[in-house]
Chain A
Amino acid sequence: MTTVVIVCGALLAVAAALTVVRLIAGPTLLDRAVALDVLIAITVVGIGLEAAYNQHTTTLPILLAVSLVGFVGSVAVARFAIRRPDE
């Protein structure tokens, strides 16, 4: 189990780093919103990985809250970012 968790952690770290690169590079606000969505999901997977490894359930409410609220940011940004091409 320990080996699996270390490998998974490394994969998640690489995934998060690639996502942060896209978050910085953009080029548009909506690209960054998508990258932030993926970053939130990677965070949830990471917290779940830790909970599965240590077999405790203290962090499960965090997963619940994040998965419920995580989309609000993207929706707000998407509403805000809409501009007509002719304006």
Chain B
Amino acid sequence: MSDLVAGALLLVGAVLSLTAGIGLLRFPTLLSRLHLGAKPQVIGMVLTLVAVGLRTDAPLDIGILALTGLFQLVTGPVAAHMIGRGAYRSGLVRRDLLLTDELADDLADDRGQESS
């Protein structure tokens, strides 16, 4: 039974990885590609780790797997944030594809306060 669940999780994890690969090629802008590295990829990895955990029974190994997933969840957003910040500040964001840009409003507010 647990093998069946592990196989299904492995399959879903691989399909999510494939989704990330396809999207990386097809999506038009840096920010939309960033979304792929940050979401489907991380979920796919966590599902794979759960599958590995179902196939082993040593508590220590399950601890290592849990730590791996935790680190991935903690460090993934940091990397995505830094890349998004770099893209915004370098002017690599395509504004014609953005529906709303709250950061621009905030930056404008800050500049207004500094000059007054």
By a beta-carbon cutoff of 8 Å, the part of chain A in contact with chain B is 1, 4-5, 7-9, 11-12, 14-19, 21-22, 28, 30-31, 33-35, 37-38, 41-42, 44-45, 48-49, 51-52, 55, 57, 60-61, 63-64, 67-68, 70-71, 74-75, 77-79, 81-85
Task: Give the nearest-CB partner of A59 in chain B.
Answer: B52
Task: Give the nearest-CB partner of B44 in chain A.
Answer: A45
By a beta-carbon cutoff of 8 Å, the part of chain B in contact with chain A is 3, 6-7, 10-11, 13-15, 17-18, 20-22, 24-25, 30, 33-34, 36-37, 41-42, 44-45, 48-49, 51-52, 54-56, 58, 61, 64-65, 67-69, 71-72, 75-76, 78-79, 82-83, 85-87, 89-92
Residues of A within 8 A of B79 (CB): 37, 70-71, 74-75, 78
Candidates A16, A37, A57, A64; contact of B37 at CB < 8 Å: A37
Candidates A42, A57, A81, A85; contact of B21 at CB < 8 Å: A42
Task: Give the nearest-CB partner of B22 in chain A.
Answer: A18
Candidates B22, B52, B72; contact of A67 at CB < 8 Å: B72
Residues of A within 8 A of B42 (CB): 41
- Most B CB contacts (10 A, CB to CB) among A37, A79, A81 go to A37
Cα distance A42–B17 when bound, in Å?
6
Contact call B72/A55, Cβ cutoff below 8 A: no
Cα distance A72–B87 when bound, in Å?
17
Contact call A44/B21, Cβ cutoff below 8 A: no
Candidates B34, B55, B67, B90; contact of A52 at CB < 8 Å: B55
Could you list 7 A-B pairs, sorted by A, with CB under 8 Å? A7-B11, A19-B20, A31-B30, A34-B37, A41-B72, A67-B69, A79-B86
- Most A CB contacts (10 A, CB to CB) among B22, B58, B79, B87 go to B79
